[in-house]
A and B are shown apart, each in its own frame.
Chain A
Amino acid sequence: MLTILFDGIAYGMVLFVLACGLSVTMGLMNFVNLAHGAFAMLGGYVTVLLMQRLGLPFLASLPAAFLAAALAGIVLERLVYRPMYAKSHLDQVMFSIGLVFMAVAGTDWLLGSSQQIIQLPPWLQGRFYVFGVGIGYYRLFVIGICGLLAVTLQWGFAKTRFGSRLRAAVDDARVARGLGIPVNRLFALTFALGSGLAGLGGALGIELMGLDPTFPLKFMIYFLIVVTVGGTSTITGPFLAAMLLGVADVMGKYLVPQAGAFIIYTLMVILLLLRPEGLFARART
Chain B
Amino acid sequence: MTFRRTVLKGFMAGALAATLGSAAQAQEVVKVGLILPMTGPFASTGRQIEAAVKLFLAQNGATHGGKRLEVILKDDTGNADATRRIAQELVVNDKVAVLAGFGLTPLAMATAPIATQAKVPQIVMAAATASITEASPFIARTSFTLPQASEPMADWAWSNGIKNVFTVVTDYGPGIDAETSFATKFKAAGGTVESVRVPLRNPDFAPFLQRVSEAKPDALFVFVPSGIGAQFMKQFVERGLDKAGVKLIGPGDVVDDDILNGMGDVAIGAITTHHYSAKHDSAANQAFVKAFEAANPGMRPNFMAVGGYDGMRLIAEALKATNGDASGEKLIAAMKGASWESPRGPITIDPATRDIIQNIYVRKTEKIGSDLYNVEFATIPQVKDPVKARK
CB-CB contacts below 8 Å: A1-35 with B: 3-4, 7-8, 11
Question: Across chains A and B, which 9 residue pairs bring their CB atoms closest together, nearest first?
Answer: A254-B207, A253-B207, A7-B206, A261-B199, A113-B43, A209-B203, A117-B262, A115-B227, A257-B196
- Is B211 touching A214 in the complex (CB atoms < 8 A)? no
Which residues does A use to contact B, with CB under 8 Å? 3-4, 7-8, 11, 108, 112-115, 117, 119, 125-127, 134, 136, 138, 207-210, 212, 214, 218-219, 222, 249-254, 257-258, 260-261
A-B contact pairs, 28 of them (CB 8 A): A7-B204, A108-B43, A113-B39, A113-B41, A113-B42, A113-B43, A114-B258, A115-B228, A115-B231, A115-B259, A117-B231, A117-B262, A126-B238, A134-B213, A207-B234, A208-B204, A208-B206, A210-B231, A218-B203, A249-B204, A250-B204, A250-B206, A251-B207, A252-B207, A253-B208, A257-B196, A257-B211, A260-B207
CA distance A82 to B228 in the complex (A): 38
> What residues of chain A lie closer than 8 Å to B237, measured between beta carbons?
125-126
CB-CB contacts below 8 Å: B17-53 with A: 39-44
State whether the Cβ of B230 lies closer than 8 Å to any Cβ in chain A. yes
Given A112, A119, A127, A257, which contacts B264 in the complex, CB threshold below 8 Å? A119
Q: Contacts A117-B262, A257-B196 given; indicate if A214 touches B206 (C-beta within 8 A).
A: no
> What residues of chain B lie closer than 8 Å to A258, measured between beta carbons?
197
Closest to A222 in B: B203
> What residues of chain B lie closer than 8 Å to A250, measured between beta carbons?
204, 206-207
- Is B211 touching A254 in the complex (CB atoms < 8 A)? yes
CB-CB contacts below 8 Å: B239-266 with A: 239-240, 258-259, 262-264
State whether the Cβ of B201 lies closer than 8 Å to any Cβ in chain A. yes
CA distance A252 to B263 in the complex (A): 28
Beta-carbon contacts of B200-218 to A below 8 Å, as 1s and 0s?
0111101110110100000
> What residues of chain B lie closer than 8 Å to A112, measured between beta carbons?
43-44
> What residues of chain B lie closer than 8 Å to A117, measured between beta carbons?
230-231, 259, 262-264
- Is B210 touching A214 in the complex (CB atoms < 8 A)? no
- Is A134 touching B240 in the complex (CB atoms < 8 A)? yes
B300 CB to nearest A CB, Å: 13
- Is A138 touching B262 in the complex (CB atoms < 8 A)? no
Given A138, A212, A249, which contacts B41 in the complex, CB threshold below 8 Å? A212
- Is A257 touching B40 in the complex (CB atoms < 8 A)? no
Which residues does B use to contact A, with CB under 8 Å? 39-44, 196-199, 201-204, 206-208, 210-211, 213, 227-228, 230-231, 234, 237-240, 258-259, 262-264
CA distance A263 to B40 in the complex (A): 28
B283 CB to nearest A CB, Å: 30
> What residues of chain A lie closer than 8 Å to B207, measured between beta carbons?
4, 7-8, 250-254, 257, 260
- Is B210 touching A212 in the complex (CB atoms < 8 A)? no
Which of B43, B199, B204 has most chain A Cβ within 10 Å?
B204
B164 CB to nearest A CB, Å: 18
CA distance A95 to B263 in the complex (A): 37
- Is B238 touching A214 in the complex (CB atoms < 8 A)? no
A39 CB to nearest B CB, Å: 18
> What residues of chain B lie closer than 8 Å to A4, measured between beta carbons?
206-207, 210
> What residues of chain A lie closer than 8 Å to B39, measured between beta carbons?
108, 113
Closest to A246 in B: B204
Q: Contacts A136-B239, A214-B40 given; indicate if A257 touches B197 (C-beta within 8 A).
A: yes
> What residues of chain B lie closer than 8 Å to A260, measured between beta carbons?
199, 207
Closest to A252 in B: B207
Closest to A208 in B: B204
CA distance A210 to B44 in the complex (A): 16
> What residues of chain A lie closer than 8 Å to B44, measured between beta carbons?
112-114
Given B201, B227, B240, B258, which contacts A126 in the complex, CB threshold below 8 Å? B240
Which of A113, A136, A209 has most chain B Cβ within 10 Å?
A113
Which of B44, B211, B234 has most chain A Cβ within 10 Å?
B234
Which of A134, A252, A257 has most chain B Cβ within 10 Å?
A257
> What residues of chain B lie closer than 8 Å to A257, measured between beta carbons?
196-198, 207-208, 211
B84 CB to nearest A CB, Å: 22
CA distance A138 to B240 in the complex (A): 13
> What residues of chain A lie closer than 8 Å to B43, measured between beta carbons?
108, 112-114
Which of B42, B198, B207, B240 has most chain A Cβ within 10 Å?
B207
CA distance A11 to B240 in the complex (A): 18
- Is B210 touching A3 in the complex (CB atoms < 8 A)? yes
B23 CB to nearest A CB, Å: 40
CA distance A249 to B198 in the complex (A): 13
Closest to A128 in B: B240
- Is A127 touching B238 in the complex (CB atoms < 8 A)? yes
Q: Contacts A117-B263, A125-B237, A136-B238 given; indicate if A210 touches B228 (C-beta within 8 A).
A: yes
B95 CB to nearest A CB, Å: 31
A44 CB to nearest B CB, Å: 13
- Sample of 9 more A-B contacts, CB < 8 Å, known A219-B203, A261-B199: A114-B227, A114-B258, A117-B264, A125-B237, A125-B238, A126-B240, A136-B238, A214-B40, A253-B208
